[in-house]
């Protein structure tokens, strides 16, 4: 069956919106009709080679939809069920999984090397980051499908698959923000907006949003920011001025650039925690001297997928949505079709907007 999809033909090449042929689900697979897919900066990182996947590939890893058909042996979902796609399924048996650190699963990306569909001319296609959500329908491993809890709108639920799990997990799992603490969030894109909401849910007393764009202040404050700082060479100084010259208890960096990682570190109080969520290139070198590491006593940590276990965390997030603490629609600044994805990438590069959502 032919469906429309956004195909990356080669690294550095423009996306092609074209028809592809999907097979019926094999044993252990599920076919899903997409309701929506978020446009994440990681998708942009795949197009320029910052992150590597086999090509040609159908991108998109943040999505939700309805099960169309299931292969033999699939029992946890059935046709007609609303689901969220999980782009990083854990194998359950590697060293990280046995430690309970499923977000670091060594085999999570194995499916990205598979051939899952074919272009109209017969060319093999790979599923970018396992789930190929930039398409009207997709066929994925059953491990990539999570039942959507009741009470969450299906279109908005797409955001749970990456931005919200990452932002919420950065606050609650990685940084472990406690009530009354102060938090700075660097980068007010989709993940940054989710992080701001998560900090508010955690009970942070002061939440400082940092971004290069003055146009994002309203978005940031709506998500929970109490203060807004335009990124500059003086960002850390401004944040310390807002916090009694101490710095914040927690900084969360959602950009992935050396300058913002360094600024997040410098904005954190002595003994505080700096969590890096943003994915940067190998050319983004961050330097520290040995004396300052000792003197400041800060913790600097990476954060993969929010250090989240999607099967565990999805019901928690759904409860926050159901009870009005988490507003998924507030993360979305643009609703587009497949043809709008390239422009959404351009907006990301220009630092505009929050999350663009492809609605099918």
> What are the sequence ranges of the domains in the chain?
2-161+327-359, 164-305
Q: Residue 239's pLDDT is what?
A: 98
The b/e string for 69-93 (b: 16+ C-beta within 10 A; e otherwise) is bbbeebeebeeebbbbbbbbbbeee
Half-sphere exposure of 158 (CA within 13 A, CB side): 32
Distance CA 132, CA 31 (A): 11
pLDDT at 52: 84
C-alpha 359: how far from chain center: 17
Report how far residue 148's alpha carbon sits from residue 348's, in angstroms, rounded to the nearest whole number: 28
Give 128-178 pLDDT, tens digit per residue. Answer: 999 999 999 999 999 999 999 998 999 999 999 999 999 999 999 999 999
**Domain 2-161+327-359 matches domain 164-305 at the CATH topology level:** no
**Three-state DSSP state, 282:** coil
Q: What is the pLDDT of residue 304?
A: 96
Largest CA distance in the chain: 64
At 49 the pLDDT is: 84
* Cα dihedral value 216, 220, 226, 231, nearest 10: -50
Q: Output the pLDDT for position 350.
A: 86
- Residue corresponding to tokens 């955690």: 202
pLDDT at 10: 94
Query: How confident is the chain (360 residues) per 10-residue block, as mean pLDDT?
Result: 92 94 97 97 88 92 98 97 97 97 96 94 94 98 96 96 97 98 97 98 98 95 97 97 97 97 98 96 93 97 96 96 95 96 92 92
CATH fold of 164-305: Rossmann fold (3.40.50)
Instruction: Give residue-wise pLDDT tens across range 62-105.
Output: 999 999 999 999 999 999 999 999 999 999 999 999 999 999 99
Asked if 50 and 68 touch (Cβ cutoff 8 Å), the reply is no
How many CA within 13 A on the CB side of residue 22?
28
Distances (CA, A) of 277 to 16, 64, 261, 302, 315: 29, 23, 10, 6, 22
347 secondary structure, DSSP code:
H
Reported pTM: 0.95
Any idea which fold 2-161+327-359 has? Answer: Quinone Oxidoreductase; Chain A, domain 1 (3.90.180)
Supply the pLDDT for residue 138.
98
DSSP codes of every residue in 199-248: HHHHT-SEEEEEES-GGGHHHHHHHT-SEEEE-STTHHHHHHHHTTTS-E
298: which residues sit within 8 A by CB, 6+ positions away?
A: 265, 268, 269, 270, 271, 272, 273, 274
Beta strands in 256-331 (DSSP E): 268-276, 299-302
pLDDT at position 57: 96
Rounded Cα distance between 156 and 182, Å, is 29
What are φ and ψ of residue 97, in 5° steps? -65, -40
Residue 103 in contact with residue 91, Cβ under 8 Å? no
Residue 327 is classified by DSSP as -
Cα gap 262→268, rounded to integer Å: 10
Q: Is 125 strand, coil or helix?
A: strand
């Amino acid at each position: 069956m032919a469906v429309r999809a956004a195909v990356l033909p080669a690294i550095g090449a423009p996306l092609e919106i074209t028809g592809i042929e999907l097979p019926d689900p094999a044993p252990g697979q599920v076919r899903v009709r997409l309701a929506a897919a978020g446009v994440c900066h990681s998708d942009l990182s795949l197009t320029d080679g910052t992150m590597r996947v086999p090509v040609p590939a159908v991108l998109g890893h943040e999505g939700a939809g309805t099960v169309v058909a299931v292969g033999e042996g699939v029992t946890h979902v059935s046709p007609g069920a609303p689901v969220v796609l999980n782009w990083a399924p854990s194998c359950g048996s590697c060293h990280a999984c046995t430690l309970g650190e499923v977000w670091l699963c060594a085999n999570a990306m194995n499916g990205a090397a598979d051939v899952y569909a074919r272009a109209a001319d017969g060319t093999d296609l790979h599923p970018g980051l396992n789930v190929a959500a930039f398409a009207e329908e997709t066929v994925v491993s059953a491990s990539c499908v999570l039942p959507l809890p009741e009470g969450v709108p299906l279109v908005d639920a797409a955001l749970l698959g990456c931005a919200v799990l990452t932002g919420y997990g950065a606050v609650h799992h990685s940084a472990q923000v406690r009530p009354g603490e102060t938090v700075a969030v660097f980068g007010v894109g989709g993940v940054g907006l989710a992080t701001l909401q998560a900090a508010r849910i955690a009970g942070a007393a002061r939440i400082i949003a940092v971004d290069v764009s003055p146009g994002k202040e309203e978005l940031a404050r709506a998500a929970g920011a109490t203060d807004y700082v335009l990124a500059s060479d003086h960002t850390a100084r401004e944040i310390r001025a807002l916090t009694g010259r101490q710095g914040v208890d927690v900084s969360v960096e959602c950009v992935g650039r050396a300058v913002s990682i360094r600024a997040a570190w410098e904005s954190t109080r002595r003994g505080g925690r700096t969590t890096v969520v943003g994915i940067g290139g190998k050319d983004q070198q961050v330097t520290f001297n040995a004396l300052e590491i000792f003197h400041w006593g800060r913790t600097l940590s990476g954060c993969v997928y929010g250090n989240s276990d999607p099967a565990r965390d999805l019901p928690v997030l759904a409860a926050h949505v159901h009870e009005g603490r988490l507003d998924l629609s507030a993360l979305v600044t643009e609703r587009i079709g497949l043809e709008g994805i390239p422009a959404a990438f351009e907006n990301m590069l220009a630092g505009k907007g929050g999350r663009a959502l492809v609605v099918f």
